[in-house]
């Protein structure tokens, strides 16, 4: 069907050519980045010997091949291409064929949209042939002219072009200095060796007097070692990145020409305006509308999944205030562009503002914002009590969302299409309110379903090629954040296979000590940077810029699409077949076509290689409807790689079509939530969505600008923090128990790198560490109460092993701090909350996950409150009663009682008992020290500690006091046998 051809170099646009053995030239065997030998040779001369896309060093064989390169004319290369077997060309393509049933298409190729699409392909092909003829004619003239020019002038003409290409790079990879990363890796290997020797000693030296305690401790220690390996080795190759925004502007925003920057659709999701205050959502929306980006390239979609009239009315007020706020921000380059956070900055705002008018306008704007807050607070106060007859809009009609579980879809365009402009007459970005339809009896899939509804609505109305999603409490802190992401996504070298660019999460409203590790510094500054050096960071739910085509389930352009497994192989994902096919590759491809009759996920870049009739077969309307749903407008938009609304669509019907795609039955019998969009099956849909993209061969980018791109509000009190961690852990357990478990899902395709898979395995098994963690935290108290210990008397060798293990742990942490820049306090806080969350939220998540799988019991999570008191950090000491507080409270009391019992027993036995006591007490203090933030948060303010917590503490203390009395630590234990013998000698 398709003629085999050589891939094109991404630098110069020429074919990459073939090697002496007839195979296509491949410079990087990690990502198969297409670059020709001439461009690669220039890279070597400039001292750049790492891949421009993935950052991995080129293989030494590639160096030799370039250095011993012999010149070959174009006819020789063409001969090699023509002699290449047909099947190699087939496997170089990355498409998934679809149904080719003739009865599905009439003489006009079915729907008019398909007819228009095929006609556009005809025009495109004709233009392509004309351009090719012109290029051939120009090339002939150039060759004739070139023959008259001396070779010295040839070099002078070529050199400036190659230098310009080198300066057009929009981002670079900055590896960690070799001195830091090499020593870090050496210590990791040393720690692994010491662990092996340590476990050899522990297993071969059991404690017979406390065999049960010893066995429990060894099992726990083995699990901790496995968890450390899963967490440590994905950080093997951390990298940094640097972007060049000025080069982006120079390339895509030339003076006097229309901006060529790609459009971006922003998604802001909210559910309950009483727990997610409308003022916070309004600040997020205002920061988006005031971005440093072309206004015609920005569209902001606000999803109100609670269908609350308060959210709608607050958005009306926000759109009105944006007409004043947006021009003010752009005129004076305000940072951040969320008014609440800008006006709360305690800085000298006059320091860099020399315009006399700035002071006056700033005061006026602050006054306008205070009035805006008064109006917003009035709406919130009004919404506290719902009228019996339901809410009524200003025109007297009933609010359609009065029944939050049974209401139609609602869409309202506030800015952009309506022609509303700011106070200076300039155009404003689009602002769209969306509330999807909900009916009883339908599964709505919570946040993931709402995000998928926004994907379809935005595709119908604006269809930007990139999507940026934010939580309602995450405002834009850096107005150039989108430009930072575009340095990767619009880079023809780096961005070809990038599915999303993830920004780190930063938070406001947290005290400096960060008692409950709300900032997650270790995860965002250490783990994510490590993943960026492999296949890319995981998707963390907010602050992420997606490529729309990746969300649609398409494969990356540079890799062939994975063939689906047969029904027999897919029935057992744990043991994928490793048997290699023995039949001809072309026959395999034909069989794959027959197996994929109903598939509609393929690479659009190869459509140009088909004739008109074959294209119409590939995009048959029936096949696309089975994948994307019954919307011809939306299906047509999925074929537009560069975005934009299809020309064949009537603009007056767009809103009607947008209402149709958010109906509650639209996703039935489609691939939404299974293969395309946000993936269903877990409450942590973010991890699952990113995992599916990486399994298809996409890679992601981690962008850490100097000024944080986005900032959000974190739940700083203990109860809310534990509930947040519980939600994340339960989502991981759900993924572990689903068919998408990273232990086996996608193994046959081979597109997920093994270190990346290890990282995903770590994200789904970490809640199970709670079981050995609870047991290990209980062991010190049991040892102190029973007088036994889990370790026998240490020899010199054993002492060396224990000492070496502690030193390797410390060195690993120190070297990790060196290359990451994380402080010791952040690392310690992370370690403390790992224990606190592990013995509480993670433990509950494991049991709830299994209950959900076995008994079908689901857990409803409440939205974390984003409000705060007037007093700074006022919620830090608030403790709301939750069952999550019971396990850590119990462990604290048990270990404290055990310490008291241990000291009393040592006093009773004499000085010989003090030596073994120190090891047991150290073990107990390790537990208490890690739980100290929990204890401080629980008892920080007595008047705010829940009464039920005090009652539980007294009850638990009484129980363990009775146990202590039963042990009789102050009474000497007498041998009853000798006592009875003495009694016999007494003559009564």
Q: Annotated binding site, which residues?
A: 269, 275-276, 305, 446-447, 471
What are the helix (H) ranges across 710-753?
718-736
Q: Return the residue matching tokens 């994907």.
A: 455
In angstroms, the Cα distances linking 835 to 49, 769, 825, 987 are 44, 10, 16, 62
In angstroms, the Cα distances linking 896 to 377, 749, 951, 958, 961 are 48, 53, 17, 13, 11
From CA 451, how far away is CA 678, in angstroms rounded? 7
CB 448 within 8 A of CB 680: yes
Beta partners for residue 269, in sequence order: 303, 471
Non-local CB neighbours of 189 within 8 Å, separated by 6+ positions:
none
From CA 121, how far away is CA 937, in angstroms rounded? 66
Q: Which of 884, 975, 870 is nearest to 938 (CA)?
A: 884
CB 701 within 8 A of CB 503: no
Q: Which two three-digit tokens encode residue 7?
A: 């891939």
Non-local CB neighbours of 922 within 8 Å, separated by 6+ positions:
none
Q: Which of 578, 594, 590, 577 is nearest to 87 (CA)?
A: 590
3-state SS assignment for residue 492: coil
Residues with catalytic function:
305, 686
Please give the backbone phi and psi of residue 961, each rounded to the nearest 5 degrees, phi first.
-65, -40
From CA 527, how far away is CA 759, in angstroms rounded? 9
3-state secondary structure 601-651: CCCHHHHHHCCHHHHHHHCCHHHHHHHHCCCHHHHHHHCCCCCCCCCCCCH
Please give the backbone phi and psi of residue 416, each rounded to the nearest 5 degrees, phi first.
95, -85
CB 322 within 8 A of CB 428: yes
In angstroms, the Cα distances linking 188 to 486, 522, 805 are 36, 18, 11
From CA 430, how far away is CA 462, in angstroms rounded? 9
In angstroms, the Cα distances linking 951 to 42, 404, 687, 881, 958 are 75, 39, 39, 12, 11
Beta partners for residue 299, in sequence order: 265, 430
Non-local CB neighbours of 710 within 8 Å, separated by 6+ positions:
470, 474, 475, 476, 477, 478, 481, 503, 505, 506, 542, 543
From CA 421, how far away is CA 504, in angstroms rounded? 33
From CA 90, how far away is CA 87, in angstroms rounded? 5
CB 553 within 8 A of CB 499: no
CB 791 within 8 A of CB 152: no
Run of H or E residues at 303: strand 298-304
> Which residues are annotated as part of the binding site for Mn(2+)?
447, 471
Output b/e per residue, 320-339; b: 16+ Cβ within 10 A.
Answer: ebbbbbbbbbbebebbbbbb
DSSP conformation letters of 799-810: HHHHHHHHHHHH
From CA 808, how far away is CA 441, in angstroms rounded? 57
| Geometric angle at alpha carbon 730, from 728 and 732, rounded to 5° | 75
Beta partners for residue 672, in sequence order: 676
356 upstream amide cis, omega within 30 of 0: no
Q: Which two three-digit tokens encode residue 852?
A: 């959900």
């Amino acid at each position: 069907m398709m003629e085999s051809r050589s891939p094109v170099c991404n630098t110069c646009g020429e074919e990459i050519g073939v090697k002496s053995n007839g195979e296509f030239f491949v410079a990087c065997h990690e990502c198969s980045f297409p670059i020709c030998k001439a461009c690669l040779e220039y890279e070597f001369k400039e001292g750049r010997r790492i891949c421009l896309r993935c950052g991995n060093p080129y293989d030494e064989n590639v160096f030799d091949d370039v250095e011993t390169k012999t010149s070959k004319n174009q006819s020789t290369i063409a001969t090699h291409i023509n002699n290449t077997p047909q099947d190699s060309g087939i496997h170089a393509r990355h498409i998934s064929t679809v149904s080719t049933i003739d009865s599905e298409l009439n003489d006009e190729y079915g729907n008019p949209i398909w007819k228009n699409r095929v006609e556009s392909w005809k025009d495109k092909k004709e233009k392509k042939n004309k351009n090719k003829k012109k290029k051939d004619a120009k090339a002939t003239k150039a060759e004739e002219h070139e023959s008259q020019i001396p070779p010295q002038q040839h070099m002078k003409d070529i050199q400036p072009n190659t230098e310009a290409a080198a300066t057009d790079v929009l981002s670079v990879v900055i590896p960690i200095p070799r001195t830091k990363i090499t020593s870090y890796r050496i210590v990791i290997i040393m720690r692994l060796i010491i662990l092996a020797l340590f476990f050899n000693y522990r297993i071969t030296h059991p404690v017979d007097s406390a065999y049960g305690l010893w066995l429990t401790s060894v099992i726990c220690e083995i699990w901790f070692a496995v968890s450390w390996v899963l967490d440590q080795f994905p950080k093997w190759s951390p990298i940094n990145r640097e972007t060049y925004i000025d080069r982006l502007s120079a390339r895509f925003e030339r003076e006097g020409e229309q901006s060529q920057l790609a459009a971006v659709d922003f998604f802001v999701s909210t559910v309950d305006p009483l727990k997610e205050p409308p003022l916070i959502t309004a600040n997020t929306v205002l920061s988006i509308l005031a971005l440093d980006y072309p206004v015609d390239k920005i569209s902001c979609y606000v999803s109100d999944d609670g269908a609350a009239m308060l959210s709608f009315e607050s958005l009306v007020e926000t759109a009105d205030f944006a007409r004043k706020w947006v021009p003010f921000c752009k005129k004076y380059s305000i940072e951040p562009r969320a008014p609440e956070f800008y006006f709360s900055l305690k800085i000298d705002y006059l320091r860099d503002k020399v315009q006399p008018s700035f002071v006056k306008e700033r005061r006026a704007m602050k006054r306008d914002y205070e009035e805006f807050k008064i109006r917003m607070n009035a709406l919130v106060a009004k919404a506290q009590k719902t009228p019996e007859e339901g809410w009524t809009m200003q025109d007297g009609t009933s609010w359609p969302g009065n029944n939050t579980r049974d209401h139609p879809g609602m869409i309202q365009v506030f800015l952009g299409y309506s022609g509303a402009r700011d106070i200076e007459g300039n155009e404003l970005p689009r602002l769209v309110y969306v509330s999807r339809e909900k009916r009883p009896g339908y599964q709505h899939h919570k946040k993931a379903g709402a995000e998928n509804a926004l994907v379809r609505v935005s595709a119908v109305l604006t269809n930007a090629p990139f999507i940026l999603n934010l939580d309602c409490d995450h405002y834009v802190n850096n107005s150039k954040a989108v430009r930072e992401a575009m340095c990767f996504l619009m880079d023809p070298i780096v961005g070809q296979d990038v599915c999303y660019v993830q920004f780190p999460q930063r938070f406001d409203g947290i005290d400096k000590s960060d008692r409950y590790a709300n900032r997650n510094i270790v995860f965002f500054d250490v783990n994510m940077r490590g993943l960026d050096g492999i296949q890319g960071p995981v998707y963390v739910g907010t602050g992420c810029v997606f490529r729309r085509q990746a969300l649609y389930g398409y494969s990356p352009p540079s890799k062939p699409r994975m063939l689906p497994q047969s029904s027999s192989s897919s029935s057992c994902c744990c043991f994928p077949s490793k048997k290699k096919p023995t039949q001809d590759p072309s026959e395999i491809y034909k069989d794959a076509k027959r197996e994929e009759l109903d598939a509609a996920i393929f690479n659009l870049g190869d459509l140009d290689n088909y004739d008109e009739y074959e294209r119409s077969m590939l995009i048959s309307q029936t096949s696309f409807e089975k994948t994307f749903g019954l919307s011809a407008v939306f299906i047509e938009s999925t074929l537009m790689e560069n975005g934009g609304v299809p020309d064949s669509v009537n603009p007056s019907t767009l809103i009607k079509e947008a209402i149709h795609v958010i109906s509650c039955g639209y996703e039935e019998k489609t691939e939404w939530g299974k293969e395309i969009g946000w993936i269903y099956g877990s409450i942590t849909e973010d991890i699952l969505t990113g995992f599916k993209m990486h399994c298809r061969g996409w890679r992601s980018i981690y962008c850490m600008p100097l000024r944080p791109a986005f900032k959000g509000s974190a739940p700083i009190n203990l109860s809310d923090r534990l509930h947040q961690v519980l939600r994340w852990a339960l989502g991981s357990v759900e993924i572990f128990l689903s068919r998408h478990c990273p232990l086996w899902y996608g193994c046959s395709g081979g597109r997920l790198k093994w270190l990346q898979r290890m990282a995903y395995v770590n994200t789904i098994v970490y809640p199970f560490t709670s079981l050995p963690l609870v047991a290990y935290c209980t062991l010190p108290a049991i040892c102190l109460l029973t007088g036994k210990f889990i370790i026998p008397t240490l020899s010199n060798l054993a002492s060396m092993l224990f000492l070496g293990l502690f030193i390797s742990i410390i060195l690993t942490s120190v070297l990790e701090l060196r290359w990451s820049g994380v402080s010791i306090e952040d690392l310690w806080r992370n370690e403390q909350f790992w224990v606190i969350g592990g013995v509480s939220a993670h433990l509950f998540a494991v049991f709830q996950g299994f209950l959900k799988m076995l008994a079908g019991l689901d857990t409803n999570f409440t939205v974390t409150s984003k409000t705060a008191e007037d007093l700074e950090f006022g919620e830090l000491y608030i403790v709301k009663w939750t069952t999550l507080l019971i396990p850590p409270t119990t462990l604290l009391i048990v270990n404290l009682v055990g310490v008291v019992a241990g000291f009393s027993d040592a006093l009773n036995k004499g000085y010989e008992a003090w030596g073994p006591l120190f090891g047991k007490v150290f073990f107990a203090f390790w537990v208490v020290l890690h739980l100290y933030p929990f204890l401080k948060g629980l008892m920080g303010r007595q008047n705010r500690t829940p009464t039920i917590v005090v009652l539980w503490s007294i009850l638990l203390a009484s129980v363990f006091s009775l146990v202590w009395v039963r042990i009789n630590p102050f009474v000497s234990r007498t041998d009853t046998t000798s006592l009875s013998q003495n009694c016999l000698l007494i003559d009564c």
